[in-house]
Structure 1
């Protein structure tokens, strides 16, 4: 089957992509038959997964809004940004501060191709292809450093990213490298799928995600909290997605597959007494 005109020529249409599956779950249009089949199989086994995907996207919007309006952050590095869909980070940010800088980073070629097309007329934002597990290359990328000044506070977003990072790639070490590169006053935004859902559904869902290049890794709340070591948690701490500063009128409920969300603030180094 020929690829659609938005898809790069170097992808295999028979191999589903986690980014494109997420796009389908959120109601986007940039996915292939293999992605739709996998998303439908996941939903049949675990009906709460699409709702959790939408809850994750809503958390991203609330977190970014907080950082740009209340914390005064003017630069955002979105790691594992995914395929553009409704409520992209730069759209949320630029609603409040049109001069703020946003850099999207993803390993998926479709995500970057679509992001770059969307951002063609937006000089304050760009998208680069990069790998979280090779974070030094991301931090040194000329397109990243053209928009992000790591000597000033920055918000690093790792939203629905780290549950695609196995222990073998040492995500905590990568986060420590990021933390060392961030100026005091910076923030880390994190959401991560937990491991507390129905065991049968979770096991079956994990097996389906093994068909993609980025299998999922579910972690406990304690393991997720450890990924925020070195940061001070912003109130209300590490909570379920819908519990992180819900908007007035939001229905706050927790269901199977709802992950955890939190924002860490990097304090200034303490002065020895």
Structure 2
């Protein structure tokens, strides 16, 4: 693929492997430490992670080290591109952008490190759109323009069964006010300005997720839209929500159901479910 612009992202973007390969998107892995075991997040099975979290095993996450970015950027330079666009998880949730910037400083080529202010397929869909533009021959500014439009139009919601795991990891953000709520109250959070804050809540998961589906339908607008449902050990519920979204958003162009990044699962906890609404603009 002789693109003028290389796209790099990280593993929290949840881009399917076949899609990344087809479009030439480089995916850099974040790292996960589970007790004494430390590895790329893709190498730690989700069921093992979920059980460890329930058992109270210490879980830590960390951004890719700068060399992981450096070698991917070097490969892009060798391919003869004119620039690199590197798009990553919100700086309000991770230091991944800092690691990318440190590596970019060592590269003799323009590298545009973009804080998506999102996570999951909230990053994935805009990066896919930008990579499609690059594959169609767009230059740096064209690719950045497509990316910016999609990032600004995308909404990322996260249902959590409990806020406890976000509290432990220090990512609870503006949802702090909900701590101490009755156990039956289930929150749906939204990433706004890169930080989690309350959006809706309901008594029990069914009511909370129905409210989230209504919010997703409102934010989808009337034009074509890409929908993502990501879950952490919650496949049955994810499929139910997908059916509700297909009915509520008939103009959906793509609907992806996927197991979320282990990094996101490590913060949101077992039973978490993410909804991405990304209008095609």
Q: State TM-score, norm by structure 1.
A: 0.33
Higher strand share: 2
